Amino acid sequence: MPHLPRRPLFAPNRLMPSRRAFVASGGAVAALGSLGPIRLARAATNPKVIVIGAGVAGLSASKMLSAEGVEHVVIEAADRIGGRAYTESTTFGVACDVGAHWLHNGETNPLVPFAKRSGLEVYEAGEVEGLFAGGKWLEGEDEEEIWEEVEDAESAINRALERDRDVSLRSVIDSDTSPLAAFLVGAYEHAASIGSLSTLDWDRQEEGTDMFHDGALGDLVAAWGASVPVQFGTAATHVDWSGSGVRVQTTGGTIEAAAVIVTVPTSVLAKGAIKFGPKLPQKTERAISDLPLGSYNHIVLQMEGNPFEVEEDTMLCYAGNGGTAGLLVNAGGSGLTYFDVAGDFGAGLTRQGEGAMVEFARAAVKDMLGAEGLSSLTKAKAFPWEANALAGGAYTAAKPGHARAREALKEPVADRVFFAGEATSLSKPATLDGAIAEGARAARVVADEVT
Give the CATH number of the domain where residue 148 resides. 3.90.660.10
Do 256 and 285 have their domain in common? yes
3 occurs within a structural domain:
no
Do 85 and 51 have their domain in common? yes
Q: Are 332 and 214 in contact (CB under 8 A)?
A: yes
162 occurs within a structural domain:
yes
Q: What domain range is 335 assigned to?
A: 127-203+294-387
Question: 17 pLDDT band (50/70/90 cuts)?
Answer: very low
Do 234 and 110 have their domain in common? yes
87 occurs within a structural domain:
yes
219 occurs within a structural domain:
yes
Please name which of 441, 404, 84 lies closest in space to residue 264, comparing C-alpha atoms.
84
Adjacency order of strands within the sheet including 259-262:
230-231, 72-75, 49-52, 259-262, 417-419
278: pLDDT strictly greater than 60: yes
Please, how many CA atoms are within 13 Å of residue 36, restricted to the half-sphere of its CB? Answer: 3
Do 151 and 114 have their domain in common? no
Q: Count how many domains the chain has.
A: 2
Q: pTM of the full predicted structure? A: 0.91
Question: 134 pLDDT band (50/70/90 cuts)?
Answer: very high
- Bigger pLDDT: 123 vs 11: 123
How many CB atoms lie under 10 A from the CB of residue 351?
Answer: 13
Do 111 and 215 have their domain in common? yes
Q: So what's the pLDDT on residue 43?
A: 61
Q: Are 416 and 259 in contact (CB under 8 A)?
A: yes
Integer Cα distance of 437 and 111 in angstroms:
11
Do 343 and 222 have their domain in common? no
Please name which of 251, 262, 293, 290 lies closest in space to residue 388, comparing C-alpha atoms.
293
396 occurs within a structural domain:
no
37 occurs within a structural domain:
no
Please, how many CA atoms are within 13 Å of residue 71, restricted to the half-sphere of its CB? Answer: 8
* DSSP H or E run through 342: strand 336-342
8 occurs within a structural domain:
no
Please name which of 297, 189, 428, 421 lies closest in space to residue 197, comparing C-alpha atoms.
189
Do 287 and 149 have their domain in common? no
Do 273 and 421 have their domain in common? yes
What CATH number does residue 236 fall under?
A: 3.50.50.60
Do 149 and 47 have their domain in common? no
Do 215 and 95 have their domain in common? yes
> Per-residue pLDDT averaged across 225-236, rounded?
98
197 occurs within a structural domain:
yes
Do 224 and 195 have their domain in common? no
Do 299 and 379 have their domain in common? yes
